[in-house]
Amino acid sequence: MRLLRKKVPATFFRRVIAYFLDAIIVSLIIGLPLAAESFNEEKFTFEFNGDFDIKDLIRTTAVSILTVLYWSVFEYNLKQSPGKMLLKIYVNPTDKNLTFSHAVVRNLSKMSGLLLLIDCLYMVIKKTNQRYLETVAKTEVLRYE
Amino acid sequence: MNKFLFIALTLGMFLAVSYGLSFFVESDFSDKIALIPIKGAITSTGDGIPLQPTGASSIKILEVLKDAEEDSSIKALILEIDSPGGTVLASKEIADKIKKIEKPVVAWIRGSGASGAYWIASAADHIIADEMSIVGSIGVTSSYLEFSGLLKEYDVTYTRLVTGEFKDIGTPYKELTDKERELFMGKLNKIHNFFVEEVAVNRNLSVAGVNKLATGEVFLGQEAIELNLIDELGGKEEAVNASKRLAGISEAELVKFADAEEFLSFLFDSKIAYQIGQGIGSVLVNSNLKQAEIRA
């Protein structure tokens, strides 16, 4: 990999664009297949008994886990997700090597928009370039210079 | 490994896992009992019969029965019957299909399971009806209105132009001749005997015994159980319990099997007003034998 000569933190703008590019890919390869089946009913089943739908819970959980895994697998192996690659930014461990568990921890908040927002609020409050979970996972996002 | 190859393979893997999970989530492996409604007059098309405008289509019921038969999660079928009967062929083809289904079939008669509807119920493994349900009416009818007297009063003449003696048998514009009546009754008796034999075989009764009951009389559920026309008095709960017992399962989800059109007509039943008019109109206009139907 053609890494930086000088470590420069990635701008928030670049990170947001990279996130949305990845989010589009995640929607296409994970969200769509799991959601599409629910619109494939051939028969009418009249079960309006108000029971909690376990299938929805399984679908939501599967999407959340696969979403976290998407970023974790790419960042652990390439230090970049496809979105980050296009924006020329990458994940850098601040302490030793990037382990898979660190990659998972730094991406946990991506399973929910609200969690990610809270995670990002840490950047505003602390005036830092790291999300809260990035500090926990001892990672930062840098760009080439 | 090449970076782009790794990305492509990883994305492909995620896609495969998502589709795999989706398939798994949608595959429901729990045991189910199919609830199949048979309501209104039973005809091939489901258009109903005169004065009984709402109908059940045998074509659609056969499709639903096939779906339920082929669905491995369906362990038993309940026929929810509320019908005064219908045409011979439509009733017979449903009854024939039910006999071929290897899964347990329970007939649950609600308001009425009469005539052709009883024929269908008799093909099931177990029949349940309420004490006050109407059951039976084993017999055949092809009665129709005849207007020859009315036409005579208004000095209207029926000009008969036929190439065969019985070509216009059953036309409402002339009286039946003795020969025509004999021919007609011969056909009805053949159908009647077939109906009686079918019920006798299905219910494991003697033909003579069923013949005694085959007067066209309707029986209340409490009478029908004494005559062995049904197996049990009860309602939905008893029908579900009987299905589970026959299928050898302790827990099952009840799933209503109905075609989309029935669901839509349930939502938009303004169509019924049109059908009532159509039913009365068809009595007045369409009553020659080729259009009228022999009903069981």
Q: Is A103 on the interface with B (CB under 8 A)?
A: no
> Are B235 and B216 within 8 A, CB to CB?
no
d(CA B179, CA A68): 85
Look at residue A61 and tell me if it is in a domain: yes
Which domain covers residue A116, as residue numbers? 8-36+52-143
Contact indicator for A110, A134 with CB cutoff of 8 Å:
no
Residue A44 belongs to a domain? no
φ/ψ of B254, rounded to 5, equals -90, 120
Write the DSSP symbol of residue B87.
B
Residue-wise pLDDT for B108-166, tens only, equals 999 999 999 999 999 999 999 999 999 999 999 888 888 989 999 999 999 989 998 89
Residue A79 has φ and ψ, to the nearest 5°, of 65, 5
Provide the phi-psi class of B33: left if phi over 0, else alpha when psi is between -120 and 50, else beta. Answer: beta
Split into its structural domains, chain A has a count of: 1
ipTM for this prediction = 0.84
On whether any CB of chain B is under 8 Å from the CB of A21, the answer is no
Whether residue A3 is contained in a domain is answered as: no
Encode chain A (145 residues) as per-residue pLDDT tens digits: 555 456 789 999 999 999 999 999 999 999 888 876 554 444 433 343 444 567 778 888 899 999 999 999 999 999 999 999 999 999 999 988 899 999 999 999 998 889 999 999 999 998 898 999 999 999 999 987 7
Condensed to tens digits (0 to 9), the pLDDT of residues B19-76 reads 888 888 777 667 899 999 999 999 988 776 665 667 889 999 999 999 999 998 899 9
B269: CB partners within 8 A, 6+ apart: none
Residues on chain A touching B36 (C-beta within 8 angstroms):
none
Domains observed in chain B: 29-285 (3.90.226.10)
* Chain A residues within 8 A of B257 when measuring between CB atoms: 43
Residue A42 lies in a domain: no
**Is the distance from CB of A99 to CB of A138 less than 8 angstroms?**
no
Tell me, yes or no, if A29 comes closer than 8 A to chain B by beta carbon: yes
DSSP E strand stretches across A3-56: 8-9
Q: How does A38-69 read in b/e, with b if 16+ C-beta sit within 10 Å?
A: eeeeebeeeeeeeeeeeeeeebeebbbebbbb
Q: Which of B5, B13, B25 to mutate to test the interface with A (most CBs of A within 10 A)?
A: B25
Q: Is residue A47 part of a domain?
A: no
B244 touches B32 (CB < 8 A): no
